[in-house]
Amino acid sequence: MSQTRPIPHDVTAHVAGHQQPGFIGRYIFSTDHKVIGIQYLFSAVLFLLVGGGLALLVRLQVGYPDESIGILTRLIPGLARHIPPEWGGRMSPEFYTMLFTMHATVMIFLVIIPWLTGAFGNFLIPLMIGAKDMAFPILNMLSYWFMWPAFGLLMASFFVDGGASGVGWTAYPTLSSADLADGSFASPAARHAGLGQTLWLLAVFFSGVSSMMGSVNYITTVLHLRAPGMTLLRMPLTVWSLFITAILQAVALPSLTVAAIMQLTDKVFGTVFFLPPGGAQFGAWSTGAGGGQPLLWQHLFWFYSHPAVYIMLLPAMGMVSDILAVFSRKPLFGYRPMVYSMSAIGGLGFIVWGHHMFQSGMDPRIGAGFIIATILIALPSAVKTFNWLATLWGANIQFTTPMLNAMGFISMFVIGGLSGIFMAVAPVDVNVHDTYFIVAHIHYVLFLSTLFGLFAATQFWFPKMFGRCMSEPLGKLHFALTFILANCTFYPMHILGIGGHPRRYFDPTLYEFLQPFQPLNRFMTVSAILLGLAQLIFLANFFFSLFFGKKASANPWDSNTLEWQAPSPPPHGNFETTPVVVRGPYEYGGEGATDHLPQTATA
């Protein structure tokens, strides 16, 4: 492992001229990495409400397909006059398809990635490596504001003719890319594949550009702005995880961004990148001259979207590792293997995308390669899991709210990882791919794991961000309810999937073989609604603590990493003097007056 020598701070002082800016420059178009991180945080919290609301509508329809509209009109006065009469008092299948498409899109592109990599990446990286700011502060500011076209376009798509995208968050052609020859944005494929899908593609493009701006900044900052003594193998795992994530984004995002542009030109300019050869008939509509390859989209999409799983997971893994060490009051077990395993996960993530395409007619010999690679990626994940357990073994565990959520992350990750082994094997995946087993797997890995990681990180670094502490009793109540209700909501989906319950069906009661599963569907719906209500506790705790929480000291958790050597919240420029690092980040459990040694402690 190369231990590149960090550039001295007197050379990089130009990175940010730390004169206090005015109100607009400080809070709106700020170039301060901390303010940008907080901007990402509040944006993600806002869209968590949107994505969560869409999820509850999905569950309401599946659990109560005949009564969902009636329930909503009783709860929301005036809603009834906006229900299309052609629905006949029941939610239409097209509207249901739009709901789950936009739910996944919002949660992935507007919540999880901005919260983990945008909010915490911006706020923590300079503080944890002893830098004054990011390497490119103006580019950092632009990376946040490039997200706003994505926010706006996705929200606007709900109100255009035809509604928001309803082709699934994977946007497979030809359903997503076909357009009428009259030049309108309407689609012959589906009502929700017209203008709303065009806006969806533009939103994905802006989100991708924003993430690429951020990744360039993160990589440069970590490589060149580390404080004296902060070698690569003295960096906390939070920084390592964000650094590896930035590399994944820089390499994988161009494929999705280019694919979005190609599909956009198919829809707007009549190109045929993803439409089949000319003359292919679809009812009364046929493809034009030329011809592309619909499967090309799947390759480009999943070449990004499987690494995107680790773009969402790796930052949470690093943050959970740091939190476990702090509240176990002992050194993190196997620091170097943890670094190497995260690197291996990132590398292997680029050669497993084909396991999403086992049903596409893939040559079994190629499929065998993807099977082996997918199983191999379980090995570095197991290294991390056993190292977390070894850190907890024999520790003096402090059951704070961040620690409970960190342990919740490990639990959810293990369940999701074990269910993923089934889909790694093509003969099994072909049978369960379009069932609720996949829905259970993706939610345990992407939603529950990252959500508990987000809650742990938010509660842990909240004092550093805002100078106040969140309520521990409310935090523990929120954790207990979330942990129980999340498992009540998603674990039964494994049972439905093994029973053959397809995903994406708007009314399971229409099929006789699915009717016996309906009581379980209703149980999951009630659990999901209660899970959504439990998040109000987190929101109340978050916003109340902003103004009335207990004032925090510089280091309320007795942590070793550099951000806790700065005031809470840190001033513009972060540190009064450049810190000099003399040790690693996990020296806990020592004898004497203190059980921890900060990275700057000389004795």
Residue 590 has pLDDT above 50, yes or no: yes
Distance CA 34, CA 574 (A): 9
Q: Domain range spanning residue 127? A: 33-79+91-276+291-565
For residue 596, what are the β-bridge partners? 588
pLDDT of residue 297: 94
- Predicted structure pTM score: 0.92
Residue 279 has pLDDT above 70, yes or no: no
Cα 55 to chain centroid, rounded: 16
Instruction: Give mean pLDDT, residues 134-152.
Output: 95
Q: List the structure tokens of 416.
A: 């999701």
Q: How many residues are there in the chain?
A: 603
For the segment 529-557, what is each residue's pLDDT rounded down to a tens digit?
A: 999 999 999 999 999 999 999 999 999 99
The CA–CA distances, whole Å, from 175 to 187, 189, 228, 280, 389 equal: 9, 5, 55, 14, 46
For residue 364, being part of any structural domain is answered with: yes
Distance CA 96, CA 99 (A): 5
Cα 302 to chain centroid, rounded: 16
pLDDT of residue 283: 65
- Domain count within the chain: 1
Instruction: Give mean pLDDT, residues 212-233.
Output: 95
> Judging by beta carbons within 10 Å of its beta carbon (0-12, 13-18, 19+), is residue 603 exposed, middle or buried?
exposed
Confidence of residue 276 (pLDDT cuts 50, 70, 90): confident
pLDDT of residue 157: 94
For residue 234, being part of any structural domain is answered with: yes
What mean pLDDT value characterizes the chain?
Answer: 90
Residue 248 has pLDDT above 70, yes or no: yes
For residue 577, being part of any structural domain is answered with: no
Instruction: Give mean pLDDT, residues 286-305.
Output: 85
- Residue pair 187/124 in contact (Cβ under 8 Å)? The answer is no
Instruction: Give mean pLDDT, residues 309-334.
Output: 95
Contacts of 476-479 with C-beta under 8 Å, sequence gap 24+, read 476/401, 476/404, 477/537, 478/401, 478/534, 478/535, 478/537, 478/538, 478/541, 479/401, 479/404, 479/405, 479/408, 479/455
For residue 580, being part of any structural domain is answered with: no
For residue 602, being part of any structural domain is answered with: no
For residue 335, being part of any structural domain is answered with: yes
> Judging by beta carbons within 10 Å of its beta carbon (0-12, 13-18, 19+), is residue 520 exposed, middle or buried?
middle
Q: What are phi and psi of 553, to 5 degrees?
A: -80, 180
pLDDT of residue 15: 41
* Residue environment code for 316-330, b if the CB has 16+ CB neighbours within 10 A, otherwise e: bbbbbbbbbbbbbbb
For residue 214, being part of any structural domain is answered with: yes
For residue 551, what are the β-bridge partners? 468
- The residue that leads in pLDDT, 99 or 188, is 99
Distance CA 271, CA 143 (A): 30
- The residue that leads in pLDDT, 428 or 25, is 428
For residue 187, being part of any structural domain is answered with: yes
Task: Name every residue whose Cβ is closer than 8 Å to that of residue 520 and which is 6 or more positions away in sequence.
Answer: 492, 495, 496
pLDDT of residue 210: 95
pLDDT of residue 271: 84
Instruction: Give mean pLDDT, residues 333-352.
Output: 94
Q: What are phi and psi of 421, to 5 degrees?
A: -60, -35
Percent pLDDT > 90 in the chain is 74
Task: Name every residue whose Cβ is closer than 8 Å to that of residue 456 and which is 6 or more positions away in sequence.
Answer: 319, 320, 323, 401, 402, 403, 404, 405, 406, 408, 409
pLDDT of residue 2: 43
For the segment 12-60, what is each residue's pLDDT rounded down to a tens digit?
A: 444 444 455 666 767 788 899 999 999 999 999 999 999 999 999 999 9
Q: Of the ranges 92-106, 189-203, 324-338, 527-541, which one carries the lowest mean pLDDT score?
A: 189-203
pLDDT of residue 178: 74
Per-position DSSP letters for 152-199, written without gaps between them: HHHHHGGGSTT-S--STTTT-TTTTT---TTS-S--SS-GGGSHHHHH
Distance CA 385, CA 406 (A): 12
Residue 523 has pLDDT above 80, yes or no: yes
Q: What is the CATH number of the domain that holds 120?
A: 1.20.210.10
For the segment 440-464, what is each residue's pLDDT rounded down to a tens digit?
A: 999 999 899 999 999 999 999 999 9
Query: Which of these, 59, 141, 142, 154, lies nearest to 110 by C-alpha position?
Result: 154
Confidence of residue 435 (pLDDT cuts 50, 70, 90): very high
Residue type, 286: S
Distance CA 9, CA 583 (A): 19
